[in-house]
């Protein structure tokens, strides 16, 4: 979404929520005045959370850079490109491998080589298939992370209402967590480069098997890093959303 349009929606939402609370506070009924006060205080709490989000979001590059430096890697700016590139390279390599196996199996003379190639690259195939799923998953999560300001704006409107505060906290937690976690994993994955040629399998069989094992090891590390990232992100989202919900209930 265009930045100024997003800010316009947020300002309008804050004004409407605060205005609604003030109107209720100026009504005659004591119950209505109390409801107005509660709604106004909830709006202020939501604004504070929104400010905290935008402070973190504005410092996203610095935060990711500091964490990446502590891990000994270089922080990147666009995780979508990295995961898309990784997905493309893995899928094209698997396609080349499977087409080579099929072509070798088609002739009686070369079918033993096809069986040998298939069995000898099982480790790479397993790791590549799992890495393909992880690359696609984090590509989608990176796309969602690009809409963090919009998620935070929606979370603000849900946090204001006591009945939907839990869901608002979850959206705010996702808006904070996803850009950081996907950027860090993409920074680590940016060092992976898969390049196996299947132009002449009979001649290059040794290089193919050596490369398959080496790349399989890299993809295994990527798969482990992906699972850890998912686990840490899930725990962070739960912890942040729970804190938002608990603090809101205690203060309001």
CA distance 238 to 230: 12
The phi and psi torsions of 2 (rounded to 5 degrees) equal: -60, 130
Given this model, what pLDDT does residue 143 score?
Answer: 94
Cβ-proximal residues to 118 (8 Å cutoff; 6+ apart), any chain: 101
pLDDT digits (tens, 9 = 90+) for 22-60: 666 676 666 666 666 676 777 788 888 888 898 898 898
Q: Is pLDDT larger for residue 161 or for residue 95?
A: 95
The CA distances from residue 196 to 99, 131, 156, 211, in Å, are 13, 16, 49, 7
Interval 219-247 mean pLDDT: 93
CA distance 54 to 71: 25
Given this model, what pLDDT does residue 16 score?
Answer: 67
pLDDT digits (tens, 9 = 90+) for 158-202: 888 778 888 989 999 999 999 999 999 999 998 888 888 887 877
**What does the buried/exposed string (b/e) look like for 63-98 if buried means 16 or more CB atoms within 10 Å of the residue's CB?**
bbbeebeeeeeebbeebbebbbbbbebbeebbebbe
> Which segment of 33-42, 94-103, 122-131, 189-198 scores lowest on mean pLDDT?
33-42
């Amino acid at each position: 979404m265009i930045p100024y349009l997003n800010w316009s929606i947020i300002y309008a939402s804050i004004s409407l929520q605060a205005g609604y609370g003030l109107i209720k506070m100026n009504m005659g009924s004591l119950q209505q005045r109390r409801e107005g006060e509660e709604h106004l205080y909830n709006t202020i709490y939501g604004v504070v959370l929104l400010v905290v989000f935008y402070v973190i979001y504005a410092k996203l590059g610095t935060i990711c850079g500091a964490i990446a430096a502590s891990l000994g890697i270089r922080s990147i700016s666009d995780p979508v490109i990295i995961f898309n590139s990784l997905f493309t390279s893995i899928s094209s390599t698997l396609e080349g491998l499977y087409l080579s196996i099929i072509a070798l199996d088609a002739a009686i003379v070369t079918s033993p080589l096809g069986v040998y190639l298939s069995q000898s690259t099982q480790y790479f195939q397993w790791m590549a298939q799992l890495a393909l799923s992880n690359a696609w998953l984090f590509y989608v999560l990176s796309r969602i992370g690009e809409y963090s300001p919009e998620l935070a704006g929606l979370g603000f409107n849900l946090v204001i209402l006591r009945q939907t505060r839990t869901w608002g906290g979850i959206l705010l937690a996702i808006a904070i967590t996803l850009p950081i976690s996907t950027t860090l994993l993409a920074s680590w994955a940016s060092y992976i480069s898969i390049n196996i040629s299947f132009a002449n399998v009979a001649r290059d069989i040794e290089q193919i098997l050596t490369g398959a094992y080496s790349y399989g090891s890299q993809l295994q590390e990527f798969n482990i890093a992906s699972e850890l990232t998912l686990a840490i992100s899930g725990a962070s989202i739960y912890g942040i959303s729970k804190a938002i919900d608990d603090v809101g209930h205690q203060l309001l």
